[in-house]
Amino acid sequence: MKLISSGTSPFVRKVLVLLNETGQLDEVELVTAATTPYDTAPKVASANPIGKIPALIRAEGPAIYDSRVICRYLDDRARAGLYPDGRLWETLTLEATADGIMEAAVLMVYEHKMRPGEAFVEAWVDAQWAKVERAVGALNARWMSHLRGPLDMGQIAVGCALAYLDFRHDDRGWRKGNDALDDWFAVFAQRDSMVATRPH
């Protein structure tokens, strides 16, 4: 298998953490691609017509894409149980919440990097951060018992989302007022799979 990836994408990191946790990393070749919303790399477009990463190229079928699809596939392949039947909908909702945080945070980066000065819209950036704040607050208020439970894909996704906030938006201080989540993340970030996948 080949994973079309980028070293700083939180969505790619989510897949890499799963690969580390399930012992499948050696079975996947990482193929790095530099792509932007304005200029889709050919190798990305050939694997995913939407032009986003990650995409997973498989020998036994067509490429699959979207990190949630890839993670579900790899979890099923390894029979790892990271989408447990007993709390499946909670796990999927938690993963979706984390993905929403990552999407908003990535859009903030693109707004700064891709638009010329006169086209930059500060209100757009602030609106994306408002989504992040609401989601992080919800995690802290409603999801701590789940996050403290047995490892699942929801936890992995949240860990990658919070790590991306530290990586790209540390100055905005997501930890303020979210002490329980901060404490949880301080421990989760030290997992071997998280340490091994830190962006450079």
pTM above 0.85, yes or no: yes
Shared domain for 92 and 187, answered yes or no, is yes
More confident residue, 122 or 37: 122
Q: What is the CATH number of the domain that holds 160?
A: 1.20.1050.10
Report, as an integer, the average pLDDT of 181-189. Answer: 98
pLDDT in tens, 104-156: 999 999 888 878 777 888 899 999 999 999 999 999 999 999 999 999 999 99
Distance between CA atoms of residues 13 and 180, nearest Å: 23
Shared domain for 90 and 127, answered yes or no, is yes
Shared domain for 71 and 96, answered yes or no, is no
Q: Which two tokens stand for residue 126?
A: 């602030």
Range of the domain at 50: 2-78
Q: 39: which residues sit within 8 A by CB, 6+ positions away?
A: none
